């Protein structure tokens, strides 16, 4: 066993003495030692209950004959960090999470790991660590939040963000805004739609590193506790069989995850995280693979923010196994891919007895013939940009507009909320990429304000930053190269015409090359927005959004 390095033999008597100082017995130390990585804290709604999940995992580990040992990691609540300096730290936290788990699991050689995340960067950070370490691992999340209710209307966090724009536009009063504030997030769990956290929890299941149900069983359901116990039991079996993450997360498994991504209409942040996770497995995923898989994979689920359904609806409809079953009917997934459950994808889908086709459309009657995400390229984004095409109004799929340029997200958000953006504008927010932000902050405030002001069928937004999974509308992010690296987005000026053609996957600045060359000759790299601490180091090391914003 890997843990023998710290507990077996005469030379390890001092080590065992330190374990005994914490109350461990000889019986416990003779068993496999399982690290339980718990991201519980009191600042993220999706994590407030994770101590309960951890206790269930540890019970499962003990039932299977091993010894659980818990340790923590940090986490950022993207919603609370939104629209202030804190959001610059969100994506950057992913690398710290992966690094800290590596440190703990190398300093204390556990035989296996159970990873307990639930939100945004914590999920990919934990999976990146699992693939980097390549010791037996299982992911079990805390599960999604239920939708809130205002009258008969189901609501969620995005309802509140969009209501701010509606209030500023005089469409609702302060009483209604307060009601939404009080009711939109009714309890623990990752926010209720197919936003980044739930996207990644669902994809961890499709990738094979989590048990069936991980992505969709609501946080408050007893089935979530049972799932955590099963995860604790499964890790012990994986240790005994020496089944490791890289045995499961193969190129074919990543293709399965991207196919499910397209069928669900997941967050655009998956285009950052999936390549970053693959990078840790030694697998290079070019952005073009997203377009290739999107082109052949129908969009089967209309989930918030692009549609009316919530994660609890997807769970009742059959969850990720049911989505995989529909995709398998057209051979769009590799059914022989293995999973931590001990079953193949084919065996998991064979066990599906019920699919609610009002939530998960049949493969021959999809919402859209193509998947939820598209990669755009052109002279404005030579290395690519990302849009959630399933959440774009038909009127905005092909559009020309005039640029309104902002060098920071707060400036753009203020202009939108103050009514300074008009129909036909294309809001360009730059110097918010991985290096320029630094940290590539999410842009939920300006995109929600555009929707709230009723401009989502008339105004587009383009940025080298990124968007919340809750964003809808013609919001195009991850423009690469970013402005801080001298990308063409740095050369855009107010009034320039921009062509957006999502159907043809094009993003073009309608300015002649001679003019762009003149602008380029005058361009100077900006001074860093933050030149101290972790973010200064992050900006020096981080790569482009088109490469998953991993470290060089």
Catalytic residues: 468
Contact call for residues 217 and 143 (beta carbons, < 8 A):
yes
SS3 141: coil
Task: Please report the sign of the dihedral spanned by the C-alpha atoms of residue 259, residue 288, residue 192, residue 37.
Answer: positive
Q: For residue 391, give Cα distances in angstroms to 124, 190, 218, 336, 518.
A: 23, 20, 24, 32, 37
Burial pattern 79-94, b for ≥16 Cβ within 10 A else e, equals: bebbbeeebbbbbbbb
Burial 361-373 (b: 16+ CB within 10 A, else e): bebeebbbebbbb
Phi and psi (nearest 5°) for 242?
55, 45
Task: Report phi then psi at 542, rounded to 5.
Answer: -75, 145
Contact by Cβ (8 Å): 214, 201: yes
Distance between terminal CA atoms of the chain? 33
Query: Residue 480 pairs with which residues in a beta bridge?
Result: 384
> And the tokens for 306?
């692009």
Comparing C-alpha atoms, which of 391, 472, 490, 473 is closest to residue 432? 490
Which one-letter DSSP state was computed for residue 439? S
């Amino acid at each position: 066993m890997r843990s023998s390095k710290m507990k077996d033999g005469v030379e390890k008597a001092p080590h065992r003495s330190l374990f005994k100082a914490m109350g461990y017995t000889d019986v416990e130390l003779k068993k496999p030692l399982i690290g339980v990585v718990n991201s519980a804290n009191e600042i993220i709604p999706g994590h407030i209950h994770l101590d309960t999940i951890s206790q269930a995992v540890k019970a499962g580990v003990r039932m299977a004959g091993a010894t659980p040992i818990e340790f923590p990691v940090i986490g950022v609540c993207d919603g609370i960090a939104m629209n202030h300096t804190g959001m610059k730290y969100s994506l950057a936290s992913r690398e710290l999470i992966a690094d800290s788990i590596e440190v703990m699991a190398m300093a204390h050689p556990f035989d296996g790991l159970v990873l307990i995340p639930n939100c945004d960067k914590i999920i990919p950070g934990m999976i990146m660590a699992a693939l980097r370490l390549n010791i037996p691992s299982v992911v079990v999340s805390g599960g999604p939040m239920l939708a809130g209710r205002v009258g008969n209307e189901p609501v969620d966090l995005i309802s509140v963000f969009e209501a701010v724009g509606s209030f500023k536009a005089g469409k609702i009063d302060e009483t209604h805004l307060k009601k939404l504030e009080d009711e939109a997030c009714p309890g623990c769990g990752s926010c209720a739609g197919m936003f980044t956290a739930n996207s990644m929890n669902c994809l961890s299941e499709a990738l094979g590193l989590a048990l069936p149900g991980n992505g969709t069983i609501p946080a408050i359901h007893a089935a979530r506790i049972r799932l955590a116990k099963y995860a604790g039991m499964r890790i012990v079996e994986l240790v005994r069989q020496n089944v490791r993450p890289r045995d499961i997360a193969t190129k074919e498994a990543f293709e399965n995850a991207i196919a499910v991504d397209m069928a669900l209409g997941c967050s655009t942040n998956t285009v950052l995280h999936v390549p970053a996770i693959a990078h840790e497995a030694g697998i290079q995923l070019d952005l073009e693979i997203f377009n290739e898989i999107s082109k052949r994979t129908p969009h089967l689920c209309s989930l918030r923010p692009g549609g009316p359904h919530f994660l609890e609806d997807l769970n009742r409809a059959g969850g990720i196994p049911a989505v995989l079953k529909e995709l398998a009917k057209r051979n769009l997934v590799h059914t022989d891919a293995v999973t931590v459950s001990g079953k193949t994808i084919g065996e998991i889908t064979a066990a599906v007895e019920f699919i609610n086709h009002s939530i998960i459309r049949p493969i021959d009657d999809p919402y859209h013939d193509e998947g939820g995400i598209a990669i755009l390229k052109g002279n404005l984004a030579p290395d690519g940009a990302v849009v959630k095409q399933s959440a774009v109004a038909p009127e905005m799929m092909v559009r020309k507009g005039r640029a309104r340029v902002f060098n920071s997200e707060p400036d753009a958000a203020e202009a939108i909320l103050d009514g300074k953006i008009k129909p036909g504008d294309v809001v360009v927010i730059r110097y918010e990429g991985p290096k320029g932000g630094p940290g590539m902050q999410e842009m939920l405030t300006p995109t929600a304000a555009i929707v709230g002001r009723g401009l989502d069928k008339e105004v587009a937004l383009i940025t080298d930053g990124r968007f919340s999974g809750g964003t809808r509308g013609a919001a195009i992010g991850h423009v690469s190269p970013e402005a801080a690296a001298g990308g063409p987005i740095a050369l855009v000026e107010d009034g320039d015409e921009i062509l957006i053609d999502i159907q043809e996957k094009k993003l073009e600045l309608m300015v002649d090359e001679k003019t762009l060359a003149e602008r380029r000759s005058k361009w100077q790299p900006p001074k860093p927005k933050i030149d101290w601490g972790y973010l200064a180091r992050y900006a020096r090391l981080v790569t482009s959004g088109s490469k998953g914003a991993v470290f060089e």
